[in-house]
């Protein structure tokens, strides 16, 4: 046997692990193929954008605790307790600030004023629980743990008459995805209604206040303009005498598409835009204004005004 043939025979006689250490390819030393990725879904619509809710400074701490704990009944009980304390704190803050400013209850009602405490707490949690279902949206075949999470979510969303309770059945992958799509469609309808949308926002600001219909007269001069999507402009108007309300318009060319009065802003304040409009996905836009107090105005995706809030 030649020297080369003997070397080959010696290498072939070595265990596979030993042969692999020389860094050379060898027959029979093939790595097993990686497992196939789990089947993914192909939804006709995207998962809802939640940026407008996530921008609240009160969103991240409870959301992170829910993420770490996982979607269980105990985790939702803890979330409910945490947000109950937060809601009570917010109500006490608003009451104390009004008393300190010498203000009683302002005229008119903010959106969602008649909502019960239970409904407010549940609506605060709706976007968070939906966010926990994002991995299930992207995975066609759920494992047992994911199915348990889906059942916990189904009980949560079906807890109130305003909700929708999906029916998830283990092993029925296509049917479960269809149920999840119906839940997402329900959420979009709710978030598309100003009052329900407002109730989902976790905030300690005063409001949310609807904007009043108005008609600008020649005496209301433009005090500030801001470029907006689609070549349009946002315009602030005021009579300059402190007698009338501040007005906000959306203008295209020379035509005012709408004119609204910011009745909660004192007429003698100096109101200005406090930055560019911020896009928040399918929920539209958020606009910051300043009058000595910070105001947050919400507009839908078409630029229609929804409501505004005032920080203390």
Res 97: pLDDT: 77
Count the neighbouring beta carbons within 10 Å of the beta carbon of residue 183. 22
Taking the C-alpha atoms of residue 184 and residue 133, their distance in angstroms, rounded to an integer, is 10
- Whose tokens are 């959306």? That residue is 250
The domain ranges of the chain are 51-200, 206-310
Q: Is the CB of residue 148 less than 8 Å from the CB of residue 182?
A: no
CB count within 10 Å of CB 125 equals 22
Cα(235)–Cα(23) distance, integer angstroms: 71
CB atoms inside a 10 Å sphere around CB 115:
17
**What confidence score (pLDDT) does residue 190 get?**
96
Cβ-based neighbours of 21, under 8 Å, separated by 6 or more: none
Q: Which two tokens stand for residue 80?
A: 């409910």
Identify whether the C-beta of residue 118 lies closer than 8 Å to the C-beta of residue 128: no
Residue 247 near residue 272 (C-beta atoms within 8 A): no
CA dihedral (197, 203, 204, 206) positive or negative: negative
For residues 55 and 24, give the distance between their C-alpha atoms in angstroms, rounded to a whole number. Answer: 54
> Alpha-carbon distance 287 to 276, whole Å?
7
Can you tell me the distance from the alpha carbon of 145 to that of 128, in angstroms, rounded to the nearest whole number? Answer: 19
| Structure tokens given for 279 | 């896009």
The residues facing 261 across adjacent strands are 212, 247
Provide the 3-class DSSP secondary structure of residue 262: strand
Q: Where are the alpha helices (DSSP H) in 165-251?
A: 173-191, 194-200
Q: Terminus-to-terminus CA distance in the chain, angstroms?
A: 94
Q: Which DSSP symbol is given to 164? A: -
Of 211, 210, 208, 209, the residue nearest 123 (C-alpha): 208
Output the 3-class SS for 112-162: CCCCCHHHHHHHHHHHHHHHHCHHHHCECCCCHHHHHHHHHHHHHHCCCCC
pLDDT in tens, the chain (312 residues): 555 555 445 444 545 444 445 555 555 566 777 765 555 667 888 999 999 999 999 999 999 999 999 999 999 999 999 999 999 998 888 788 777 776 555 567 899 989 999 999 999 999 999 999 999 999 999 999 999 999 999 999 999 999 999 999 999 999 999 999 999 999 999 999 999 999 999 998 888 999 999 988 767 889 999 999 999 999 999 987 767 799 999 999 999 999 999 998 988 899 999 999 999 999 999 999 999 999 999 999 999 999 999 987
* Other residues' Cβ atoms within 10 Å of the Cβ of residue 296: 21
For the chain, helix, strand, coil in percent to 5 are: 40, 20, 40
| pTM for the whole structure | 0.82
DSSP helix/strand/coil, 68 = helix
Phi-psi region of 253 (alpha: psi -120 to 50; beta: other; left: phi over 0): left
What's the distance, CA 19 to chain centroid?
55
């Amino acid at each position: 046997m030649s020297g080369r043939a003997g070397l080959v025979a010696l290498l072939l006689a070595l265990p596979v692990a030993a042969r692999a250490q020389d860094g050379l390819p060898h027959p029979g030393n093939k790595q097993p193929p990686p497992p196939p990725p789990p089947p993914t879904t192909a939804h006709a619509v995207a998962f809802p954008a939640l940026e407008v809710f996530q921008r609240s400074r009160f969103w991240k701490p409870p959301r992170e605790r829910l993420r770490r704990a996982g979607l269980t009944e105990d985790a939702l009980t803890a979330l409910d307790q945490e947000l109950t304390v937060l809601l009570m704190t917010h109500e006490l803050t608003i009451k104390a600030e009004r008393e300190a400013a010498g203000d009683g209850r302002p005229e008119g009602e903010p959106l969602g004023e008649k909502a019960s405490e239970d409904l407010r707490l549940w609506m605060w949690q709706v976007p968070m629980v939906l966010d926990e279902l994002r991995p299930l949206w992207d995975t066609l075949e759920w494992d047992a743990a994911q199915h348990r999470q889906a059942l916990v979510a189904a009980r949560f969303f079906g807890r109130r008459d305003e909700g929708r309770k999906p029916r998830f059945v283990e092993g029925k992958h296509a049917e479960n995805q269809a149920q999840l799509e119906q839940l997402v469609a329900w959420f979009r309808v709710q978030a598309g209604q100003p009052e329900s949308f407002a109730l989902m926002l976790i905030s300690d600001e005063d409001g949310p206040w609807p904007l009043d219909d108005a008609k600008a007269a020649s005496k209301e001069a433009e005090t500030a303009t801001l470029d907006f999507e689609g070549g349009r402009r946002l315009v602030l108007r005021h009579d300059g005498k402190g007698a009338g309300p501040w007005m906000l318009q959306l203008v295209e060319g020379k035509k005012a598409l709408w004119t609204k009065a910011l009745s909660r802003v004192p007429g003698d304040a100096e109101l200005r835009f406090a930055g560019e409009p911020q896009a928040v996905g399918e929920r539209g836009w958020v606009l910051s204004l300043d009058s000595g107090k910070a105001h947050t105005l919400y507009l839908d995706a078409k630029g229609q005004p929804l409501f505004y809030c005032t920080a203390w």
